[in-house]
A and B are shown apart, each in its own frame.
Chain A
Amino acid sequence: MFNASVSFHDVLFMLRGAGVTLLLTFWAVVGGTTLGVLFGLLRASAPGWPSFALGAVLDVFRSVPLLIQIILVNAFAPILGFDVSAFTIACIVLAVYGAAYCTEIVRASVLAVPQPTRRAARSLGLTWADDLTAIVFPIALRVGLPGWIGLALGLMKDSALVLWIGVIELLRSSQIVVTRTQQPLLVLGIAGAIYFLISFPIARAGAWFERRWQDQ
């Protein structure tokens, strides 16, 4: 029998979508952060044309709307002979998009570590690598964490855009439920609540670290 009210199964269906959203966010954040740290370090410590060129390329990913990037990559990937799923394409595009932003967060955070502090570390005989791991990273982390948390939350919400290439994440699964039940306000309310439940712990974790570091 046709039932038009939002059922327990609908919520389960949406939770499965939320699982996909979480997975997308996970890969986007892991990939984006890894690339972002590498690129950001390069941009901060090796000025000159490679750094400039990298900055210019990453600017493209920051300037073109994410939705256009997703659709273009999804369209061109098979033409170029890549046989990958929509989910993989979604992860890659989100990760590169995230990396473009993360690079600037890392670059600014590393440059925020005072040069005299680094000089003091080197004067004690610490190598470049020691200076990076023992001095630069811990201090830069404190500078960059709020921005990075913002980026992670942004990626999580931006991941909704991949519904356009057929990935059934939280928003797409909510749309499917809306189409059948015709109760958009209730369903989107539930979806919003799920997005909030995912974001909240991440935001709280960031705030916890910031509070802990305040004593220093």
Chain B
Amino acid sequence: MIEIEDVHKSFGALEVLKGVSMTVARGEVVSVIGGSGSGKSTLLMCINGLEPIDAGRVVVDGVDVHARATDINRLRRRIGIVFQQWNAFPHLTVLENVMLAPRKVLGKSRAEAEAIATDRLSHVGLKDKLVAYPSRLSGGQQQRMAIARALAMSPDYMLFDEVTSALDPQLVGEVLDTMRMLSSEGMTMVVVTHEMRFARDVSDRVAFFHRGRIHEIGPPEQVIGNPQRPETADFLKSVR
């Protein structure tokens, strides 16, 4: 379970998270929607400790992410994250990109890591791209590779940070399909997205972010279908 309790975070004078609280249960898919600059992506970075927080707590399965005693590298093995820019390692082949963390972090042998990587890459439909370099892949393929790279650590949680925002429209579908597949397999996911259809169809709950606060959180039928707050309704009108 991910427990976010009254998290505050500022970049200089700009407070981007103004007391955010929410929980994500095992097996749940929570979509986070909201305008750009509302703090959604920052919240994701705080969940796996890529961004420090100023106040509050983030607790993952009982471990305080931002506590000094926490071995953050150990915790990150269990929390996969995929970014808007897929961030392929350009000097490594697709297979090597996915093998790297199992080898370096989990200490797997080359053969074991290769087996894991091949399995995950097949799972996201990239079995025929193993020896290609990322630069030869389309944006959608690179993003699926990034998902496979995170999955290679067998994480308990997956965080998605606007993973389709930088893709050509015709490539969005293949990445969303991969994420649908993961959710149907029971993966716990926190998805920051602008894809309202995906949020409505796949999420158990949707959180609407506005100016550093969660204004509304609930089942998609409510938040997207019948928003209770005027800010949510305005936002949904602007993205339709």
Contacts and interface: CB of A to CB of B under 8 A. Distances in A.
B133 A215 contact: yes
Contacts of A135: 89
A108 interface: no
Contacts of A127: 73
A142 interface: yes
A139 interface: yes
B87 A120 contact: yes
Given A116-B83, A126-B73, A126-B104, A216 B89 contact: no
A142 B91 contact: yes
Interface residues of A, number: 21
Interface stretch (B74-82, B114-122, B227-235): B74-82
Nearest to B93: A216
B73 A116 contact: no
Contact of B83 (A120, A130, A138): A120
A127 B50 CA distance: 13
B91 A216 contact: yes
A136 to B, nearest CB: 11
B83 to A, nearest CB: 6
A134 interface: yes
A122 B76 contact: yes
A114 B87 CA distance: 9
A213 B90 CA distance: 10
A142 B85 CA distance: 21
B135 interface: yes
A122 B83 CA distance: 13
A211 to B, nearest CB: 14
B184 to A, nearest CB: 24
B7 interface: no
A123 B90 contact: no
B121 to A, nearest CB: 15
Given A119-B50, A216-B91, A125 B74 contact: yes
A124 B91 contact: no
B202 interface: no
B172 interface: no
Contacts of A215: 133
B181 interface: no
Interface string A131-145: 000110011001000
Interface string A105-131: 000000000101101111111110010
Interface in A197-216: 213, 215-216
Contacts of B74: 125
Given A120-B83, A126-B105, 17 more contacts: A116-B85, A119-B83, A120-B81, A120-B87, A123-B50, A123-B76, A123-B80, A124-B80, A124-B100, A124-B101, A124-B149, A125-B77, A126-B73, A126-B101, A127-B73, A215-B133, A216-B133
29 contacts: A114-B87, A116-B83, A116-B85, A117-B88, A117-B90, A119-B87, A120-B81, A120-B83, A120-B89, A122-B50, A122-B76, A123-B80, A123-B81, A124-B76, A124-B77, A124-B80, A124-B101, A124-B153, A125-B73, A125-B153, A126-B73, A126-B100, A127-B73, A134-B104, A139-B90, A139-B91, A216-B90, A216-B91, A216-B133
Interface of A: 114, 116-117, 119-127, 130, 134-135, 138-139, 142, 213, 215-216
- List 10 tightest A-B contacts by C-beta distance, closest first: A120-B87, A124-B101, A125-B105, A125-B76, A125-B77, A216-B133, A138-B91, A123-B81, A130-B104, A125-B73
